[in-house]
Structure 1
Amino acid sequence: MPRISVVIPLYNKSQTIERAIRSVITQRITDIEIIVVDDGSTDNSAAVVQAMADDRIKLVRQPNAGPGRARNVGASHARAPLFSFLDGDDEWKPDFLAAGLTALENHPQAVAYACGFDTGVYADQVTDKVSLLTPTPALLPPPKVAAGHQWMKYALDGLHSSSTIVRREAFLAAGGYFDRDRCLWGEDSYLWGQILFMGPVFWDPARHIFYHIEDSDLGFAIKKRDRERPLAKWGYQLMKKMAPEHRKAFFVLAQRTASDDADTLADSGHIIKCFALRCKYRLLRPWRLKADIRRYLKHLQSRGLQKS
């Protein structure tokens, strides 16, 4: 049995998928399996994978259903007690798996390992959040309400799929990634928001991966959203799954996620959905409503300029 199963969701990444896979097969840890799930690619991505001669690589095909479904399908084929999910346009440094497996072996109570990531020239636009949580490697318990919504947001952002290793039992207990409605935004935070409260996480600020934003279809350049993320939509239901001592803190995280999503909905012109989400999470305040209306009017103004 392999020590770890690496799942790579793949959709039209013919230019980067070989780089991603090579970063896995050149790891210091070699007792691995690599499950690439082709999510209905229309380019030659699958052919690139098939051309790579390594018997640890398994290619699974499915009709296009979104990244959450692709990752979950990959996990269903996985045999190892540990899972990691590398995006097809990201890249691991050679010591990522060694660092993560060592941390989890030394701390069996940890449900997951998360490290920092290197964004290169985009570092001023996308900040590595793990270094904001702890300056040195540390095993930290699930956050309490007193940690505050900003710390929880950093923790949620720090659990980036490409830079995290999770125990099989924790992944299954959370139900995996959100995979309904071909979700393209927040399918990962639905999972990691639950993992954060299942037990301690080992945080490693060392930047063991390259996060290639320039190759990402879902990077910060996409601003138009027409719905909230699953963590915000299903936050109350997920809260009921939590141990009683974690429910209040989880609500703070879901509330912060909903607040950010409401901002995005207003920016995208969905003002009614914005107001409904704020009402759902008890976030209706006069100053917030004024800010939302300003965002909405700015959106309308930009549309008018685009049409003229």
Structure 2
Amino acid sequence: MLVKFSVAIPLYNKEPHVKRALDSVINQTFQDFEIIVINDGSTDKSAEIVKSYSDSRIRLINQKNAGVSAARNRGISEARSELIAFLDADDEWTPDYLETVRRLREKYPDAGLYATSLKTEFIDNVLMDKEKELRKVIPDEGLILNFFKVNLKDISHKDIFYTSSVTVPKKIFSEIGGFKTGYWWGEDIDMWGRIGLKYPFAYSSKVCAIYYQNVVNGAAYKKKPVKGHPLLETAKEALKLGEVPRGIIKDLKEYMKFVEMCTAKHNAEAGERDLAFKLLARSDIKLAYKKILLSTIILSVIESNFPKFYKFYFKENIFAENKPQTQFIKRTG
């Protein structure tokens, strides 16, 4: 018998958090679901916590560590439902998440993605401070027709959804493929971009998920340079093959520059500044982006050469009040 939702939870060393995630699914107001936990080679007691549950709807699948994309792809292949909801093992849902997504599905059966708003430690509601122009393209509840345009409207990139507030029909993955493996940076954004090139998104601004960054084994603050962003490869290939709808081309190209800026910013924070300097020299990069990169370069130099000064005067005094806003990646599995 098919279930309404398959909930895919990638798991890698989340012992302090996985119970919270599981309980948030079990406590949903809508109860027609299965939970697929993909244990991606955890070395702590995460799997034991999952095994302690007697709920027959929970399946634990063990595999060697292959990364979060491989774990999510395994969850997709094992899913018994047409609707696959993603939840990271250190996040949680509010009790009405699945009920909200079910309503979106009934209203917008042809959407390629269903998502709700969320809150984090740093942002109570990501739509509260959105300007009127942005609210025009982000409905309280309805269809988002241009994913790239929505994300370009706010330079701070307070995303209107994250992986843990997303549900995707299984047939979509059959059409466009799974999450790209070999990346820990931007693999989720790449997936949403690939879907957004072909389908509208059904969205509710109701907060139905909680995204945690201050967690063990987290990559939100992982300082490791990356070679590139998978969405750039996807976008370049789609443009080359003429697969981008005419009305989206301009926004996609500008969004690619935004992605380049975010990648350069991340690398500069990790001590690799070459990409940031290259973007600073390009005439097609927005001044606002260059200001962000220049500020990041200066702070990274201070941090590298004067770590005590940086920690006291910047990280503790300033950034404690202004948490990172370019929350462009999720965590690794």
Q: TM-score, normalised by structure 2?
A: 0.78
- Residue number in structure 1 paired with 2:320: none
Equivalent residues in 2 for 1:108-257, closer than 5 Å? 108-119=109-120, 121-123=121-123, 128=126, 132=130, 133=135, 134=138, 136-143=140-147, 149-150=152-153, 157-180=159-182, 183-215=183-215, 217-218=217-218, 220-240=220-240, 242-245=243-246, 246-257=248-259
Give aligned pairs, total.
300
Map Cα deviations across residues 212-265 of structure 1 (whole Å, 9 max, x no partner): 222264364445534333223543124446344234432222221112222332
Is the 8 Å Cα contact of residues 223 and 270 (structure 2) preserved in structure 1? yes
Shift of 1:197: 2.8
Map Cα deviations across residues 137-183 of structure 1 (whole Å, 9 max, x no partner): 122322576x682259859x324110111122223333222212xx2
Is the 8 Å Cα contact of residues 265 and 293 (structure 2) preserved in structure 1? yes
Paired with 1:235 and 1:159, the residues of 2 have a C-alpha distance of 20
Counting aligned pairs with the same residue, the percent is 31
Paired with 2:245 and 2:279, the residues of 1 have a C-alpha distance of 24
Q: Which runs of 5+ in 1 are unaligned?
A: none
Shift of 1:103: 1.1
Aligned-residue Cα RMSD (Å) equals: 3.1
Structure with more of its chain in helix, by fraction: 1
SS at match of 1:42: coil
Paired with 2:87 and 2:238, the residues of 1 have a C-alpha distance of 25
Cα pair distance change 1:84/1:144, threshold 3 Å: closer
Cα pair distance change 1:243/1:234, threshold 3 Å: closer
- Residue number in structure 2 paired with 1:93: 94
Letter in 2 for 1:197: L
Shift of 1:295: 4.1
Cα pair distance change 1:69/1:282, threshold 3 Å: farther
Q: Which moved more, 1:184-193 or 1:83-92?
A: 184-193
Paired with 2:151 and 2:235, the residues of 1 have a C-alpha distance of 17
Cα pair distance change 1:275/1:3, threshold 3 Å: same
Cα pair distance change 1:117/1:26, threshold 3 Å: same
Is the 8 Å Cα contact of residues 111 and 195 (structure 1) preserved in structure 2? yes
Paired with 1:135 and 1:28, the residues of 2 have a C-alpha distance of 24
Map Cα deviations across residues 73-125 of structure 1 (whole Å, 9 max, x no partner): 11111121111110001111111001101111121122222111122x5227x
Map Cα deviations across residues 35-80 of structure 1 (whole Å, 9 max, x no partner): 1001110101111111111111111111111111111111111121
Cα pair distance change 1:289/1:67, threshold 3 Å: same
Is the 8 Å Cα contact of residues 116 and 204 (structure 2) preserved in structure 1? yes
SS at match of 1:79: coil
Shift of 1:204: 0.8
